[in-house]
A and B are shown apart, each in its own frame.
Chain A
Amino acid sequence: MSLTRITDRLMFVLLWTSAVLVAVVIAAIILFVGKEGVTTFRTASLASVLLSPRWAPPQSFGILIFFLGSLAVTVLAMVIAVPVGLAGSIFLAKLAPEWMRVLMRPAINLFVGIPSVVYGYVGMTVLVPLARQVSGSVGFGLGVAGIILAVMVLPTITTVSEDAIRSVPTALVEGSLALGATRWETISRVILPAARPGILASIILAFARAFGETTAVQMVVGNAPIFPRNLFEPTSTLTSEIIQEMGQTAPGTTWYFSLFLMAFGLLLTSLVAILVVRYVARRGVAA
């Protein structure tokens, strides 16, 4: 066998190994984080960890409150970001003139590029004082976290939905216009239903991103393990709690392992999100 043939074979093996390495990495993350997390149950009962709403280490390790906190913050962010992001995607795909599009593409990329700690910083210095003035509370809390997160996930919804809207067959659009429908009627009754799988995918991806966002949320959410009764009350999320307490817990304690359990919960959530996106996308345009 000549040298070129040997190189060819060798490179194939190397490339294959790199690809398999990616699978090994994700498997290792699930395995290692999962193993540390599940160790929580050696010293604390399943029910007391997953169902108790009380987080008071080292007596009680109920992580439910953080899950609810994450959910509250994320749902609020989605309530704001989905309508705005979707409108943005329709605008970009169907209405915006060329010069506006040229301006908005890099702008949206920049939204993604701004580091999360900078979002947190702006939230802390602008929105928190504003919330304090409006409500008379400490300012830190659910509302500010929701708004900051909404801004952060907007690009995900806008770009993914725009792709979905663009990929709707022209024949469908022209058919609708030819029947006398206005542009808005075509958008709302033909394009959006046809683009539904892609739009759903964008929403799920944005949800997963918001659920896993750490630094920005930790800086503005107030970090108190309670469920907020209104927009101005502080709460705590899975991510903010991990970043807040990881440095203070001794390795090998139930407290330490319970933080890994929260991380494992985050990991499973993002895994489920990906599987749902795949399922939704496979159902295709016809759905």
Chain B
Amino acid sequence: MTAPSVPGMSRNLQARHRTERLASALLWAVGALLLLVLAWFLYYILSRGLPALDWSFITARPKAMDAGGGVGPELFNTFYLTFLSLLFSLPVGLGAGIYLAEYARPGRLTHLLRLSVETLASVPSIVFGLFGLIVFVNTIGASFNILSGALTLSLLNLPVLVRVTEEAIRAVPASYREGSLALGATRWQTTLHVVLPAAMQSIITGVSLVAGRAVGETALLIYTAGLTVSRYAPDFSPFAGGETLAVRIWYVKSVALLPDADRIASGASALLLIVVLVFNVLAVLPLVLRQWRDRRLAR
């Protein structure tokens, strides 16, 4: 060990340690910054929006020109559209995910399918919107409607559902399948009664995340579900206008000239954020419950 006795080396070592400390400090600062920005975002949106949230705001109809309108139909449409889009996309998304995880053999078709899922996941939402406009809106009816919006939205959900399902199913240990197959069950019986139940918690988490994303979607819905709401509330007709909360925020802030646009936008933002938060909590709930149960069983 001659190194420390060379004066140049020890100064070099000091410099290296300074760099080390500096780098650590910077990385910590960035980590703290990320948390601070998020905390500020949540605080800003909720502190501005919560005062606007009262019963009449949440239930009343929107007004076209005057102040004092609510977002009742928009809130209903937000959930209705999300529900319908999941209704359309869940069977296909689950099916494709199961196929890719359990049945697909490496080859050209599987390669193409995986590429399709990845590509679909990266399509900008406005492109989905234009596609929905020419394919769904133009075939279903003359004007924008809930059904067109939900069908288009289901295309956006699809790739995430496929990926989530595939990952959840792949995480199920092979021994489960082998046990079931050894007992004489068919492939499908094994999938339905053994693999899917084991993967269900992860799939539910994924579906909650998909729903959380769907409720906040805007660009895709403007030219499919449209900027109007039905005269009746709640209106379950899939052919009614389907303006959602997110689209309403966009509309009042960048198109309409309402005297109380800021009140509506801030109130609706807070409401939307709360809905997203709920879906995020729902997403981690199965995991938390499982951990809690495991811990109790371990005791």
Q: For the complex, what is the distance from the CA of A247 to the CA of B28, rounded to whole Å?
A: 47
Check if A151 sits within 8 Å of B37, measured CB to CB. yes
Contact among B44, B96, B159, B189 with A122 in the assembled complex (CB-CB below 8 Å): B44
Complex contacts, A188 vs chain B, CB 8 Å: 23
Q: Are A12 and B187 in contact (CB under 8 A)?
A: yes
Task: Mark A101-138 against chain B: 1 for CB-CB distance below 8 A, else 0.
Answer: 00110111111011111101110111000000000000
What is the CB-to-nearest-CB distance from A244 to chain B, in angstroms, rounded to a whole number? Answer: 9
B104 near A19: Cβ-Cβ < 8 Å: yes
Q: Given A106-B284, A113-B212, A212-B126, is A36 in contact with B34 using a C-beta cutoff of 8 Å? A: no
Confirm or deny: B100 has a beta carbon within 8 angstroms of a beta carbon on chain A: yes
**Interchain CB contact under 8 A, B44 and A274:** no
In the complex, what residue of chain B is closest to A35 when comparing beta carbons? Answer: B134
Judging by beta carbons under 8 Å apart, are B34 and A110 in contact? no
Binds B, one of A21-29, A58-66, A166-174: A21-29
User: Known interface pairs A18-B96, A28-B135. Does A5 touch B272 (Cβ–Cβ under 8 Å)?
Assistant: no
Q: Which residues of A contact B64 (CB under 8 A)?
A: none
Tell me if A270 counts as interface (CB < 8 A to partner B).
yes
Interface residues on B, range: 35 or more
**Docked complex: A138-166 residues within 8 A CB-CB of B:** 151, 154, 158
Q: Give the interface segment out of B53-61, B108-116, B170-178.
A: B108-116
Closest B residue by C-beta to A29? B131
Give the contacts of A244-276 with B (CB-CB under 8 A): 246-247, 259-260, 263, 266-267, 270-271, 273-274
- CB < 8 Å neighbour of B31 from A22, A100, A110, A185: A100
Q: How far is the CA of A154 from the CA of B33 in the complex (A)?
A: 12
Whether A239 sits at the interface, judged by CB under 8 Å, is yes
Whether a CB of chain A sits under 8 angstroms from the CB of B194 is: no
Q: Does B76 contact A (CB under 8 A)?
A: no
Summarize B's interface: helix, strand, loop or mixed: helix
CA distance A183 to B23 in the complex (A): 9
Q: A52 interface residue, CB < 8 Å from B? A: no
A20 at the interface (CB under 8 A from B): yes
Q: A residues within 8 A CB of B135?
A: 28, 32
Q: In whole angstroms, what is the CA distance A104 to B28 when docked?
A: 12
Is there contact, CB below 8 Å, between A21 and B92? yes
Q: Are A182 and B188 in contact (CB under 8 A)?
A: no
Asked, given contacts A111-B38, A120-B253, whether A23 binds B118 with beta carbons under 8 Å apart, the answer is no
Within 8 A of B (CB), among A158-212: 158, 182-185, 187-188, 205, 208-209, 211-212
Q: Is the CB of B126 within 8 A of A114?
A: no
Q: Which residues does chain B contribute within 8 Å of A158, judged by CB atoms?
A: 34
Provide the residues of chain B in CB contact with A205, threshold 8 Å: 122
Q: Shortest beta-carbon distance, B24 to chain A, in Å?
A: 7
Query: Taking the nearest CB of chain A, how far is it from the CB of B4, in angstroms?
Result: 12
Q: How far is the CB of A130 from chain B (nearest CB, A)?
A: 13
Q: Beyond A19-B95, A26-B123, list 20 extra A-B contacts (CB 8 Å).
A: A8-B187, A18-B96, A22-B96, A95-B27, A95-B28, A103-B35, A104-B31, A113-B212, A117-B269, A120-B253, A184-B19, A184-B23, A187-B23, A212-B123, A212-B127, A214-B218, A214-B219, A219-B250, A243-B219, A274-B122
16 intermolecular pairs with C-beta atoms under 8 Å apart: A18-B99, A22-B159, A23-B113, A92-B31, A110-B276, A115-B276, A117-B247, A121-B266, A182-B20, A205-B122, A212-B123, A215-B250, A239-B124, A267-B127, A270-B119, A270-B123
- 10 nearest interchain CB pairs? A115-B216, A212-B124, A18-B95, A214-B219, A184-B23, A87-B30, A15-B99, A23-B116, A8-B186, A19-B96
